[in-house]
Amino acid sequence: MTEHFPGHAAAEPEFEHEPEGWQEAAHEHEDSAEFAEAGEPADFVHDEEGDGAVPVASHGGTRVSKRVRKRRRSVAFLIVLIFFAVVVYFAVQTIKPMLGGFTVPDYPGPGITAVKVVVPEGATGRTVATELKTQDVVASEQAFLDALEAANGTGSLQPGTFNMKTQMKAADAVTILMEVSNDKVHYAAVAQNLRIKDTLAVLAKSTGIPLAEFTALSKQPGLFELPKQAKNLEGYLAPGEYKFPIELDAKGVLAEMVAATKKSLVDAGVTTPAEQYRVLTIASIIEFEGNEANYAKISGAIENRINNPNGETGGRLESDATVAYGLGVKTYNITAEEKADKSNLYNTFANRGLPVGPIGSPGSKAIEAAAHPVANPYYFWVTVNLKTGETLYAATFAQHQVNVAKYVAWCGANPGECK
């Protein structure tokens, strides 16, 4: 008996004579070698009848072969797919000019009806294209985007309001936008009746000029030829959209805004500095107290109050908005103690007449209403729906209390709206 030790192969048996059938076994071995060379490795098992080794397919070899075949099929499929895509692409490019369906819709121009298109700050080519299509300025968004790209204007769109026409050729629409966007300007959008602190913050952010420069200049109304009553530029910084030349300094920016306010006053027929200051003060209150539809009527009620010291209101304006301004807060809820504080020079509950100055920068329509109030019998008004601006009027305090109850009810039904 032969012993086997770990790590040592057993000695191969020696034969004096070749075993019977060795030729057939050798032949079968050669066949298995050819089988292995073809990518199918073979193992050998002993023939139960003792005729020699018989080749069988190795399970491990079969798995390798399947992976190879799968990989080859995948590569072949990918090559065919790429070839097909290339063929389709060139075929489409060849026949595209012959097919009307591939033509991007575009108007021939020059346009029909005048429209104004507003490009907000931060607008992209895509958002502008959508707006132009919505207003029927261009026939398709893609026509505009193609024209914009052709003009190298994709990153050059600047905000502003543009005079355009419906059904323009896309390239013409791009030309209008590019004519303005090529100018170096600072764009600033100043909302109506912002307090001066908020307005100056908008200007600093829009122009890159330090806020401190604007603040210092705003406290020197004499530099802008304002009346002696004015303690600062509050009320004189006209709201609107501005495109300030990039070389303009802080004083130049403020001067342009003050000039716009003075023009609105003159257009409304108010020319003397003292009267301009009075009208601006009323106009600023009107904008806080109501909406555009109510400006003129509220202006009339204000005149009734301040011109009739013996009336039910005793010549007091009694505006929550003025008290809040004097307190430096923004709220509709003024306490009884705050209303009784005469030291607040903007407190129109404790002090008769108008406050000491404007409480914001009014727009031209509020200025017009303040200059030309609508005569009416009312002394009281209250906005009973802060979302729609619905305002109710009353000639007596008793009637006013009924209206105030409606406002209170609306606030109860709309939590968080009447802060």
| Contact (CB, 8 A) for 286 and 302 | yes
| Contact (CB, 8 A) for 348 and 316 | yes
The verdict on residue 176 lying in a domain is yes
Mean pLDDT for the stretch of residues 217-223: 97
Let me know whether 173 and 202 are in one domain: no
| Counted domains in the chain | 5
Centre a 10 Å sphere on the Cβ of residue 375 and count the other Cβ atoms it contains. Answer: 9
The verdict on residue 273 lying in a domain is no
Q: Can you give the pLDDT at residue 64?
A: 52
Q: Can you give the pLDDT at residue 74?
A: 78
Let me know whether 409 and 289 are in one domain: yes
User: 17 pLDDT exceeds 70?
Assistant: no
Q: What is the pLDDT of residues 373-393, one digit of tens each?
A: 999 999 999 999 988 889 999
Cα 351–Cα 411–Cα 334 angle in degrees, nearest 5: 20
Let me know whether 343 and 391 are in one domain: yes
Let me know whether 292 and 405 are in one domain: yes
The verdict on residue 310 lying in a domain is yes
Query: Domain boundary at 81, 102, 123, which?
Result: 102
Residue 36's pLDDT band, with cuts at 50, 70 and 90, is very low
Let me know whether 404 and 315 are in one domain: yes
Let me know whether 232 and 341 are in one domain: no
The verdict on residue 161 lying in a domain is yes
**Which residue type is seen at 418?**
C
For residue 105, give the DSSP letter: P
Token pair for 215: 């603040």
Token pair for 16: 């004096």
The verdict on residue 129 lying in a domain is yes
Q: Can you give the pLDDT at residue 4?
A: 37
User: 199 pLDDT exceeds 60?
Assistant: yes
Let me know whether 155 and 212 are in one domain: no
Query: Domain boundary at 183, 200, 218, which?
Result: 183
Residue 103's pLDDT band, with cuts at 50, 70 and 90, is confident
Closest by CA to 137, choosing from 182, 177, 194, 100, is 177
Let me know whether 152 and 195 are in one domain: no
Listed in sequence order, the DSSP H helices in 291-418 are 295-306, 320-327, 336-339, 364-371, 397-413
User: 39 pLDDT exceeds 50?
Assistant: no
Q: Can you give the pLDDT at residue 28?
A: 44
Let me know whether 297 and 339 are in one domain: yes
Report the relative pairing of strands 240-245 and 380-385 from DSSP bridges. Answer: unpaired
**Most confidently modeled of 90-99, 178-187, 377-386?**
377-386
Provide the CA 261 distance to its chain's centre, in angstroms: 29
Query: Domain boundary at 233, 267, 301, which?
Result: 267
Q: What is the pLDDT of residues 123-161, one digit of tens each?
A: 888 899 999 999 999 999 999 999 888 887 666 677 777
Q: Can you give the pLDDT at residue 27?
A: 44
User: 313 pLDDT exceeds 60?
Assistant: yes
Q: Can you give the pLDDT at residue 89?
A: 67
Let me know whether 337 and 361 are in one domain: yes
Centre a 10 Å sphere on the Cβ of residue 365 and count the other Cβ atoms it contains. Answer: 17
353 pairs with which residues across the strands? 316
Gap between the Cα atoms of 138 and 243, Å rounded: 26
Q: Can you give the pLDDT at residue 285?
A: 96
On the 0-12 / 13-18 / 19+ scale of CB atoms within 10 A, 187 is middle
Q: Which residue would you say has higher pLDDT here, 157 or 340?
A: 340
**245 phi, psi to nearest 5 deg:** -55, 140
Q: What is the pLDDT of residues 266-308, one digit of tens each?
A: 999 999 999 999 999 999 999 998 889 999 999 999 999 999 9
Closest by CA to 386, choosing from 365, 406, 364, 370, is 406
The verdict on residue 11 lying in a domain is no
The verdict on residue 108 lying in a domain is no
User: 69 pLDDT exceeds 50?
Assistant: yes
Provide the CA 200 distance to its chain's centre, in angstroms: 22
Let me know whether 222 and 330 are in one domain: no
Q: Can you give the pLDDT at residue 376?
A: 96
The verdict on residue 191 lying in a domain is yes
Let me know whether 306 and 337 are in one domain: yes
Q: Domain limits at 30?
A: 22-57
